């Protein structure tokens, strides 16, 4: 098949691309957000549609403000000002005649495709649901209408947690649900085993430092601050840290090591997880967090929020991790951290379950077969038409 992948440039998409059989399918990629090249040799630059957003008229004073204050009006006049997504997509479709368009994420990467995709009703559309696509945005009236319109046109649906397969049906999806596929492209477990340190040598409490619309790292930092005397024997490391979290740590003289949003490479983060005893992620909305899956394959004990039941796909509370049911409850988070740190049997059992059983579900070879199977279903339907 000719597959046109539509996404933002990201590590998760690159890992997904690694799993697509290049001998069976020809890949193209549309950088819908106009942010740059997808750095993978598997899609040649000639097949990547980048740096496409061009002006038709010179910039008009107040244009940016209008786009923020009155996006509906701006959308009407945007085609006069610049090349739009739907125009570029139309051009790409005419040029390569793809068999399937596969979009990753809803709000940025699927909404803008709808106008063009409706003009091509026989062109197959796959959509991979990420994070808060349906769970969070599906609660807002304006977004709910857009979600329903996209799902009504989408032919094939892939989720990163089981929760979203049910939400898609709730929002009117009537196409074919292909699979729940965790962790994008999976992990090459054999290559990271050397970084997975024995449980007894681990003395790091690792915290994801997101504090924004969804992330609630500050509540974890405050919970750790309350028990700082009890965790004196451990090193607290906060990674992917937003500025507000970093300032709180500095202003309160907390002896936590901080890495900013882009200070660690993916391999460096995996190595750090392989030395951490516990890893904490706290948010009010998410799908299946990739950092949680990384935590599991690297053997750190996960303490993670469970928005809408997404995380319980892979974490059984009190067995291979602990679930935070209220991201805003600092006291509960504190108690969960203490329980993990001082329950050696729980830590040992979770390490065994996660590194031996759960990791198999996240292994590259296992995920590779699931991705191949998903595309095979689409290919078979095309052959039968």
Question: Which CATH number is 321's domain given?
Answer: 3.40.50.2000
Let me know whether 227 and 308 are in one domain. Answer: yes
Same domain, 179 and 206: no
* 301 and 240 inside one domain: yes
List b or e across 97-119, with b for residues whose CB sees 16 or more CB atoms inside 10 angstroms.
Answer: ebbbbbbbbbbbbbbbbbebbee
Q: Residue 64 has what pLDDT?
A: 85
Tens digit of each residue's pLDDT (9 = 90 or more) over 73-129: 888 898 898 999 999 999 999 999 999 999 999 999 999 999 999 999 999 999 999
CA 191, 193, 196, 201 dihedral sign is negative
Note the pLDDT of residue 33: 94
What's the CA gap between 346 and 233, in Å, rounded?
Answer: 19
Q: Are residues 273 and 342 in the same domain?
A: yes
108 and 12 in a single domain? The answer is: yes
Residues 270 and 370 in one domain: no
**DSSP letters along 302-341, please?**
EEEE-GGG-GGGT--BTTTBEEES-TT-HHHHHHHHHHHH
Whether 19 and 101 share a structural domain: yes
Q: Do both 234 and 173 map to the same domain?
A: no
**Model pLDDT, residue 368:** 95
**So what's the pLDDT on residue 184?**
67
Q: 156 and 118 share a domain?
A: yes
Mean pLDDT, to the nearest integer, of 214-232?
A: 97
What's the token pair of residue 233?
């024997």
pLDDT, tens digit, 9 for 90 and up, residues 138-167: 999 989 999 999 999 999 999 999 999 999
Number of domains composing the chain: 2
Say what the pTM is: 0.92
Residues 123 and 232 in one domain: no
Asked whether residue 61 carries a pLDDT value surpassing 90, the answer given is no
- pLDDT band at 202, cuts 50/70/90? very high
Are residues 113 and 237 both part of a single domain?
Answer: no
Structural domain span for residue 238: 189-362
């Amino acid at each position: 098949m000719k597959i046109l992948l539509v996404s933002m440039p990201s590590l998760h998409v690159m890992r997904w691309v690694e799993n697509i059989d290049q001998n069976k399918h020809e890949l193209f990629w549309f950088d819908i957000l106009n942010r740059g090249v997808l750095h993978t040799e598997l899609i040649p630059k000639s097949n990547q549609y980048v740096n496409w957003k061009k002006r038709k008229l010179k910039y008009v004073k107040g244009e940016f403000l209008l786009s923020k204050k009155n996006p509906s009006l701006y959308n009407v006049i945007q085609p006069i000002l610049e090349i739009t997504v739907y125009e570029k997509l139309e051009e790409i479709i005419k040029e390569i005649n793809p068999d399937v368009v596969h979009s990753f994420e809803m709000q940025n990467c699927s909404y803008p495709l709808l106008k063009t995709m409706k003009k091509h009703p026989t062109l197959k559309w796959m959509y991979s649901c990420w994070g808060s696509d349906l769970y969070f945005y599906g609660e807002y009236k304006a977004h709910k209408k857009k979600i329903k319109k996209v799902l009504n046109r989408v032919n094939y649906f892939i989720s990163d947690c089981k929760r979203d397969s049910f939400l898609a049906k709730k929002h009117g999806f009537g196409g074919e649900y292909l699979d729940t596929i965790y962790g994008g492209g999976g992990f090459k477990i054999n290559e990271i085993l050397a970084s997975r340190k024995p449980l007894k040598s681990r003395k790091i409490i690792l915290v994801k430092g997101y504090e924004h619309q969804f992330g609630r790292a500050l509540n974890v930092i405050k919970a750790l601050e309350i028990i700082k005397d009890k965790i004196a024997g451990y090193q607290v490391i906060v990674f992917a840290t937003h500025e507000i979290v970093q300032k709180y740590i500095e202003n309160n003289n907390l002896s936590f090591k901080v890495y900013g949003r882009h200070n660690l490479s993916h391999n460096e983060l995996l190595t750090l997880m392989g030395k951490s005893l516990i890893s904490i992620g706290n948010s009010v909305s998410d799908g299946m967090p990739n950092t949680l899956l990384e935590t599991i394959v690297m053997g750190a004990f996960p303490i993670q929020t469970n928005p809408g039941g997404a995380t319980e796909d892979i974490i059984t509370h009190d067995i291979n991790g602990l679930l935070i049911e209220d991201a805003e409850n600092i006291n509960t988070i504190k108690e969960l951290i203490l329980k993990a740190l001082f329950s050696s049997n729980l830590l040992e059992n979770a390490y065994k379950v996660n590194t031996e059983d759960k990791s198999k579900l996240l292994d590259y070879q296992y995920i590779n077969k699931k991705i191949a199977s998903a595309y095979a279903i689409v290919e078979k339907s095309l052959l039968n038409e």
